[in-house]
Structure 1
Amino acid sequence: MPMPPSPAAPKTPRPQAPTPPLHPALALMLLVLLVVGGMCLGLFIAMAGVGVLYGTGVLMQVTDVMARPQNHPEGWGVLMLMQGIPLLLGFGGGAWALLTFTSLRRDAASRLAWRPFSATWLLAAIGLIIISVPAMSILIAWNAGLHLPPFLYSWEKAARLYEDQAQTLTTFLTRFSSFERFLVAVVVVAIIPAIAEELTFRGVVLRQLSRWTNSVHWGVWLSAAVFSAIHVQFFGFFPRMILGVMLGYLFVWSGNIAVSMAAHFAQNFAQLLLLYLQQRGTIQFDADANEALPWPLALVSLLLTAGLLYWLYQRRAELAAPPVAEAHTLTSHGVEVRRPAPPVAGHTLTSHGIDSAEPPRA
Structure 2
Amino acid sequence: MSISDKYCVIMAGGIGSRFWPLSTQKFPKQFQDILGTGRTMIQQTYDRISKSIPSENIFVITNKEYVALSHQQLPEIPEQNIVGEPLMKNTAACNLYMANKIAEINPNATMIVLPADHLILKEDVFLEKVELAFSLASSQDYLVTLGITPTRPDTGYGYIQFVEKKNSEYYKVKTFTEKPILEIAKSFLESGDFLWNAGIFIWNVNSIHKAFETFLPDMTQQFTACEYNAEAEISCIELIYPKIQKISIDNGILEKAKNVYVIPADLGWSDLGTWTSVFENSERDENENAINIKTALTYDSTGNIVHVKNTKAVVIDGLKDFIVVDTDKVLLICPREHDQQIKDYVLDLKSLKKGEKYM
The two structures share one fold, judged by TM-score above 0.5: no
**Structure with more strand by fraction:** 2
TM-score (norm 2): 0.21
